[in-house]
């Protein structure tokens, strides 16, 4: 796993062979973060990484200046790997939560500027993840929600949809929360 840019840019970490996650490719991650950087400044923001896998997205948020990053992952192998990378970086601004994403969403009381979710593409409840996030209270005004998905999903008719980006077989739908607190 490689952290692409920021204060930890170019740092590499060997991912254990027994990790079952499907990490976002470096190419796709670099491109979506370039898009996000053009939409919002990361400095002083709070990010949430759901279905964190190897934590690559979490570490990219940290590296680029987020004040805090929370990542949620259910698999213990992945959680241990994320914690080991965090220890090597000696960065206390990452909170690692081992748990079920659906339970986390329904009980979370924090608010975030960025929410990134990369559910397993074959997850039966995939679309439920999108709706649960977008109907939750977890987003600050102006927040961006990024959902990674396969090419077979289309969220363009959702009222909060902003844009879709595709990098090879990796697709991202970006949703934007209104700046007004209605």
Q: Phi/psi at 147 (nearest 5 deg)?
A: -115, 125
| Residue 87, both tokens | 């220890």
Q: Are 20 and 75 in contact (CB under 8 A)?
A: yes
DSSP state of 23: P
Q: Which helix (H) or strand (E) holds 68?
A: strand 68-73
Alpha carbons 122 and 116: distance in angstroms, whole number: 18
* CA-angle at 35, arms to 34 and 36, nearest 5°: 90
pTM of the model: 0.95
Q: What is the pLDDT of residue 180?
A: 65
Q: Which helix (H) or strand (E) holds 79?
A: helix 76-89
Q: What is the pLDDT of residue 25?
A: 85
Q: Which helix (H) or strand (E) holds 87?
A: helix 76-89
Beta-strand pair 161-167/170-176: antiparallel
| Residue 11, both tokens | 């740092």
Domains and CATH numbers, the chain: 26-176 (3.40.50.150)
pLDDT tens over the chain, length 182 residues: 999 999 999 899 988 888 877 778 889 999 999 999 999 999 999 999 999 999 999 999 999 999 999 999 999 999 999 999 999 999 999 999 999 999 999 999 999 999 999 999 889 999 999 999 999 999 999 999 999 999 999 999 999 999 999 998 999 999 999 886 54
């Amino acid at each position: 796993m490689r952290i692409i840019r920021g204060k930890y840019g170019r740092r590499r970490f060997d991912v254990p062979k027994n990790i079952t996650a499907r990490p976002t490719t470096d190419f796709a991650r670099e491109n979506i973060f370039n898009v996000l950087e053009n939409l919002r400044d990361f400095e002083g923001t709070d990010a949430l990484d759901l279905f964190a896998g190897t934590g690559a997205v979490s570490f990219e948020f940290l590296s680029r200046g987020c004040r805090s990053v929370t990542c949620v992952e259910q698999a213990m192998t992945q959680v241990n790997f994320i914690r080991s990378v965090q220890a090597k970086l000696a960065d206390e601004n990452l909170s690692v939560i081992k748990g079920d994403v659906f339970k986390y969403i329904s009980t979370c009381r924090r608010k975030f500027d960025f929410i990134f979710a990369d559910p397993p593409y074959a997850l039966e409840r995939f679309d439920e993840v999108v709706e649960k996030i977008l109907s939750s209270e977890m987003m600050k005004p102006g927040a961006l929600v990024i959902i990674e998905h396969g090419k077979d999903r289309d969220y363009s008719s959702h009222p909060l949809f902003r844009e879709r980006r595709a990098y090879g077989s990796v697709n991202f739908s970006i949703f934007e929360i209104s700046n007004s607190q209605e």
